[in-house]
Amino acid sequence: MKNKQSEVSLPSHDLSDEEKVAADKALKVRRFKRLNEMGEASRIYAELLRLKYEIAAYLELGIFDPNYSFGNYLKKYLQIFGLKRRKLAEDISIHETKLSRIVNDKENPGLAIMYRLEEHSNSVIKASIWWNLVTRKVENDIKSNTRERKAQSLKVKNKFRYEGGSL
């Protein structure tokens, strides 16, 4: 039996279990009917908003997870519009190979691409949101790439020394 206190924010519906199942089913049917009646532009807008809030929720976690990379979100973006990579590359005026490298997280996009994606989505997803995904990955790379850090350290001359102890 559920604790009534755990459902404080939920309104009481006073339905039996069978009535609740029937009501949930009717609601589901109604939602799918409305989705089917929705125009293509409205569907895309709703999906773009969903993607925007999904990205924002991930960014609020303050962690890096490769499953939530810029490339993975760009794949979802392509799906929302039903576009092939070639068409999006054409739409935002970049080479298809460059877009493929970005989608596969082999290359980080620059600010110009962020602005173009913002424009492509008619400002539903702002450039700053896309950029925050990229910086989350770059920050993680900086923290975890000890091999590159050591390689670059060998190229530094006249390193600062502190006489008062260790830093």
| Confidence band of 87 (pLDDT split at 50, 70, 90) | very high
Residue 12 clears pLDDT 70, i.e. is over it:
no
**Spans of all domains in the chain:** 39-153
Average pLDDT over residues 88-115: 97
Residues 52 and 128: their CA atoms lie apart, in Å, by: 11
**What is the pLDDT at residue 1?**
47
Q: What is the pTM of this model?
A: 0.72
Q: Which overall architecture, per CATH, does domain 39-153 show?
A: Orthogonal Bundle (1.10)
Rounded (10°) CA dihedral 43, 102, 62, 76: 20
